[in-house]
Amino acid sequence: MSETIFSKIIRREIPADIVYEDDLALAFRDVHPQAPVHILIIPKQVIVSIDAATDTDAALLGHLLLTVKRVATQEGLENGYRVVINTGEDGGQTVFHLHLHLLGKRSMAWPPG
């Protein structure tokens, strides 16, 4: 099991602006927001990346997506939002604990950079 700064946030060893928590997941505001709403949704269990997930993680992955929806509703993102999972070096992943970026309250460009 590899530890990242997100494990410290889960254990409340470093501060974070937590907006949602349940037994399986935690959601907190990104320290370097790329949109007016930028929240990270993470599993409490360490999964390094979506590429490291296995069939046994299927229910947890579904829970994370439904948590995105719950937090988006909580944040008033009725006009839409974007969900991003950066994966590996080419995907721009910098923290190796699976996280879903929830971005909202601005219009998103496509393709992404």
Residue 31 within binding range of ligand AMP, rule CB under 6 A: yes
Tokens of 59: 């229910």
Please select the residue that binds ligand AMP; options are 59, 94, 107, 109, rule is CB under 6 A: 94
Q: Is 92 in the site for ligand AMP (CB under 6 A)?
A: yes
**DSSP state letters, 3-40:** --HHHHHHTTSS---EEEE-SSEEEEE-SS-SSSEEEE
Give me the sheet containing 81-84, strands edge to edge: 18-21, 25-29, 37-43, 100-104, 81-84
> Catalytic site residue 99?
yes
Residue 93 sits in the site that holds ligand AMP (CB under 6 A): yes
Footprint of ligand AMP on residues 32-61 (CB under 6 A)? 32, 40
Q: Is 16 in the site for ligand AMP (CB under 6 A)?
A: yes
Residue span 62-91 as binding mask against ligand AMP, x where in contact by CB under 6 A, dash where not: ------------------------x-----
Q: Which residue out of 38, 97, 99, 101 is catalytically annotated? A: 99
Residue nearest to ligand AMP (CB): 86
Structure tokens at 61: 């992955």
Beta-carbon count within 10 A of 55 CB: 5
Among 83, 45, 49, 88, residue whose Cα is nearest residue 66: 83
Binding site for ligand AMP (CB under 6 A): 5, 16, 28, 30-32, 40, 86, 92-95
